[in-house]
Amino acid sequence: MFWRRSRQSTWNPWSDLWDLQDEFSRAFGASPWQGLSGEFPAVNVYESDDALELSMKLPGINPKDLDVTVNQDTLTLKGSREVDKAPEGAEYLRQERGAGSFVRSFALPFPVNTGEVAARYQDGILTVRLPKAESAQPRKIAIKAG
């Protein structure tokens, strides 16, 4: 069964565009705009007293295809996802999961202890923990009387 959007009783200019995209998807196995839109994986960034933590959604990516580097004040994440191939004797009716590579760089708001940066990939989420350098951590200042 082939899934199509239902036709509305009034003309909708977007429906023609969607139909054209469906035709491209069937002909080439992917959206004509896929890979050109500059899609980046979504991230969340948290700061605590002693570290910065970044988590990035990367479902379906092999951890071997990821690269995490820290260079002074920049964190760079690189990765790639292979194209899913249809099983032998089958063809895609719709293929929406993207493939290709990405690079994201983040300016760090403070110096980090690069020797203690740690990355973990679990359940499709990459988590990078960047401990603050001693000089960037808050410290309590004693107040002298008199």
* Domain spans, the chain: 40-87+96-135
CA angle (120 as vertex; 95, 37 as ends), nearest 5: 35
Q: Name the residue with higher pLDDT: 32 or 76.
A: 76
Position 52 scores a pLDDT of: 94
In CATH, what number does 40-87+96-135 get? 2.60.40.790
- Cα separation, 55 vs 43, whole angstroms: 6
Q: Name the residue with higher pLDDT: 73 or 19.
A: 73
3-state secondary structure of 23: helix
Q: Which residue has the tokens 């082939």?
A: 2
Query: At 90, which amino acid appears?
Result: A
Position 25 scores a pLDDT of: 62
Cβ atoms of 92 and 86 within 8 Å: the answer is yes
Structure token digits, residue 45: 């960034």
pTM for this model (two decimals): 0.64
Q: Average pLDDT for residues 41-45, to the nearest whole number? A: 90
To 10 degrees, the CA torsion angle through 73, 54, 99, 16? -110
Where would I find the beta strands (DSSP E) of the chain?
43-47, 51-57, 66-71, 74-81, 100-107, 118-122, 125-131
Q: Name the residue with higher pLDDT: 69 or 11.
A: 69
Cβ atoms of 65 and 58 within 8 Å: the answer is no
Length of the chain: 146
Q: Each residue of 96-138: pLDDT tens digit?
A: 777 788 899 999 998 999 999 999 999 999 999 999 988 767 7
